[in-house]
C-alpha cells in the first residue's frame, strides 16, 4: 500500500499520541517552500522511535540521512540531556536547512551533523551508539546495515525506515535496485544471529532490532 494512502487508524494514533508542536510542523512546511523532498517519517513513526529509544535508555544515537531534520528532532528529544545525536547528510543544502530545524526545536546543542557521503563517513566512525536509524538512499541499505551493526552496542537498537518500500518488497516480480536492496536489508536483519528483529507495520514499515552480541 502506498505510504501516501490515508490510514484512519494511524491518524487516530497520531492525533492522540503524537501531535506535532510548532517546531515539528514548521519543518515540513519549510521543506515544501524550499523545494526539498517531502519524504519525512510520519509523526506516529517518530513517536514509536521515541518510545523505543527511551525504553533502552539511549543517550547516543546515529542517524544515516538527515534531510530537513524532522526525524532527527524526534530522536534528539527522546535522547534527552545530555544525549547526543550524530547525523549524516550528503547534501550541503539539506544539512544547512536541518541545522535551523534543530535550533528552532531546541535540540541544536545535542546534534552533530556530518556532511558528506555516508559511505565515506561511516567506516571512519569508531564510537559505539545506543541506536542507529537508517533512512537514506535505499540502494546502500545493505552497506548501512553492516556499518550500523558494527557501530551499535550490545543491547542497542537498529532502526530502518521504509522496510516495506511502498509495499513493493512483497511483490517478487519487482526487481528494481532500490527494492532489492531493501529486501536484502530485511533479510540480513531477519537472519543475523547477532540481532533480534522484526518490522513494525507503521507507515512504510519500521524495521526494529535489538543487538544481542558482537
User: 132-156 pLDDT, tens per residue?
Assistant: 999 999 999 999 999 999 999 999 9
Q: What percentage of the chain has pLDDT greater than the value 70?
A: 97
Residue 155 CA to residue 143 CA, distance in Å, equals 21
pLDDT score at 1: 37
Provide the domain count of the chain: 1
Phi-psi region of 165 (alpha: psi -120 to 50; beta: other; left: phi over 0): left
Q: Is the per-residue pLDDT at 90 higher than 70?
A: yes
Residue 56 CA to residue 95 CA, distance in Å, equals 28
Question: CA angle, 52 as apex, 47 and 57 as ends, to 5°?
Answer: 125
Do the domain assignments include residue 2?
Answer: no
CATH of the domain at 159: 3.40.50.150
Which grid coordinates are listed for 80?
534527552
| Host domain of residue 100 | 8-211
Contact yes or no for 86/63 (Cβ under 8 A): yes
Half-sphere exposure of 45 (CA within 13 A, CB side): 25
From residue 78, alpha-carbon distances to 59, 123, 199 in Å are: 9, 26, 21
Do the domain assignments include residue 137?
Answer: yes
Do the domain assignments include residue 145?
Answer: yes
Do the domain assignments include residue 178?
Answer: yes
Q: Is the per-residue pLDDT at 3 higher than 70?
A: no
Residue 173 CA to residue 60 CA, distance in Å, equals 39
Mean of the per-residue pLDDT values of the chain: 95
Do the domain assignments include residue 59?
Answer: yes
* pTM (predicted TM-score): 0.95
User: 15-68 pLDDT, tens per residue?
Assistant: 999 999 999 999 999 999 999 998 999 999 999 999 999 999 999 999 999 999
User: 93-111 pLDDT, tens per residue?
Assistant: 999 999 999 999 999 999 9
**Residue 44 CB coordination number (10 Å):** 22
Do the domain assignments include residue 3?
Answer: no
Do the domain assignments include residue 109?
Answer: yes
pLDDT score at 213: 98
Residue 207 CA to residue 185 CA, distance in Å, equals 9
Amino acid at each position: 500500500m502506498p505510504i501516501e494512502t490515508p490510514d484512519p487508524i494511524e491518524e487516530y494514533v497520531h492525533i492522540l499520541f503524537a501531535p506535532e508542536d510548532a517546531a515539528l510542523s514548521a519543518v515540513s512546511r519549510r521543506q515544501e517552500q524550499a523545494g526539498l523532498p517531502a519524504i519525512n517519517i510520519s509523526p506516529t513513526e517518530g513517536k514509536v522511535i521515541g518510545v523505543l529509544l527511551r525504553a533502552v535508555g539511549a543517550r547516543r544515537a546515529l542517524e544515516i540521512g538527515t534531510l530537513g531534520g524532522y526525524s532527527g528532532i524526534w530522536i534528539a528529544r527522546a535522547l534527552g540531556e545530555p544525549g547526543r545525536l550524530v547525523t549524516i547528510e550528503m547534501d550541503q543544502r539539506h544539512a544547512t536547512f536541518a541545522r535551523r530545524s534543530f535550533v528552532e526545536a531546541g535540540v541544536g546543542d545535542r546534534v552533530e551533523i556530518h556532511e558528506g557521503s555516508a559511505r565515506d563517513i561511516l567506516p571512519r566512525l569508531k564510537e559505539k551508539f545506543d541506536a542507529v536509524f537508517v533512512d537514506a538512499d535505499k540502494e546502500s541499505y545493505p552497506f548501512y546495515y553492516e556499518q550500523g551493526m558494527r557501530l551499535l552496542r550490545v543491547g542497542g537498537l537498529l532502526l530502518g525506515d521504509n522496510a516495506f518500500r511502498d509495499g513493493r518488497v512483497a511483490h517478487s516480480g519487482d526487481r528494481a535496485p532500490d527494492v532489492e536492496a531493501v529486501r536484502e536489508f530485511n533479510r540480513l536483519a531477519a537472519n543475523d544471529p547477532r540481532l533480534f528483529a522484526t518490522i513494525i507495520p507503521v507507515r512504510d514499515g519500521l524495521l526494529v532490532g535489538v543487538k544481542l552480541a558482537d
